[in-house]
Chain A
Amino acid sequence: MINIDQEAWDLMVAHAQKTYPYECCGAMLGPIDGDVKTVRIALPLENAYPGAQRERYELRPEDLLFAEKEARKNGMDLIGIFHSHPDCDAYFSKTDLENSCPWYSFVVLSIQKGQFHHANSWLPNMDQTEAAKEELQHPNA
């Protein structure tokens, strides 16, 4: 289960709405206690996809390395990645799946007409052939 604190959530939604109609991305940091992950810090990161960012996002590995370092510095863990789907639902697409990593939670925010609509969290499997829906709790749920 992944639980997102108010402050981190507000930052994620603000980042997704600000980048609309383009996809946003970022990292989520916090403690992991057994099966419960709590996002306390959201780190908005730049979408580095070189093409149409209305439909794609890409994280620079060095930005993820920075996020990992920030987590360690704060005594936290890198819990996962968030990104937005402008004007479509918060599913985990084939593109998301094939370019994901089985180690992390993937929170997708659906932004409809510039405003937050709904969100889901996904856990890809090792071969990146399917993703299971993860229970997600956030202030707008």
Chain B
Amino acid sequence: MPKILIPTPLRQFADKKDAVEVAGVTVGEALSALTAAHPDMKKNLFTDEGKLRSFVNVYVNDEDIRFLEKDKTAVAAGDTISIVPSIAGGK
């Protein structure tokens, strides 16, 4: 099963775990399995319309899924999924 690394602020919604192994053969399925097991995680990652929040990027190993096949990107045992926010700003 692929492993999802949980960012520190979201661990409170995942039984304080820093990583969760989930079922799924695509990134979309893996994230669905994560939010099914830990429903409070959902509002942090997805909008009410079910889309990934604008600041949420997802990486499989070291690759941004936007440059792969987005939520259809295949994952397998041994793959690590990371959730990384987009951050910018200015005065």
Interface positions of A from 79 to 123, Cβ below 8 Å from B:
79, 81, 83, 85-86, 88, 91, 93, 95-97, 99-104, 106
Q: How far is the CB of A70 from chain B (nearest CB, A)?
A: 13
Report whether over half of chain A's contact residues are helix, strand or loop; otherwise say mixed: mixed
A103 adjacent to B82 (CB under 8 Å): no
Partner of A57, one of B5, B43, B89: B89
> B residues 29-87 with Cβ under 8 Å of A?
43-44, 55, 57, 59, 62, 64, 82, 84-87
Q: Are A101 and B88 also in contact (CB < 8 A) when A77-B8, A78-B8 are?
A: no
Are B89 and A100 in touch, CB under 8 angstroms?
yes
Pick from B82, B87, B91: contact of A68, CB under 8 Å: B82
Chain A interface category by residue count: 35 or more
Q: Note all chain A residues with C-beta closer than 8 A to B86.
A: 59, 61, 99, 101
Contact A68 B89 (CB under 8 A): no
- Give the residues in chain B near A88, CB-CB below 8 Å: 91
Contact digits for B6-26, partner A, Cβ 8 Å, 1 yes 0 no = 011110000000100000000
Contact A61 B84, CB 8 Å, known A78-B8, A101-B55, A103-B10: yes
B85→A103 contact, CB < 8 A: yes
Q: How far is the CA of A85 from the CA of B89 in the complex (A)?
A: 10
Contact with B along A56-72 (1 / 0, CB 8 A): 11110110110010011
Contact B43 A85 (CB under 8 A): no
Residues of B within 8 A of A136 (CB): none
In the assembled complex, the Cα of A83 lies from the Cα of B59 at a distance in Å of 24
For the complex, give the distance between the alpha carbons of A126 and B46 in Å. 11
CA distance A49 to B86 in the complex (A): 12
User: Taking the nearest CB of chain B, how far is it from the CB of A113, in angstroms?
Assistant: 15
Q: Which residues of A contact B64 (CB under 8 A)?
A: 61-62
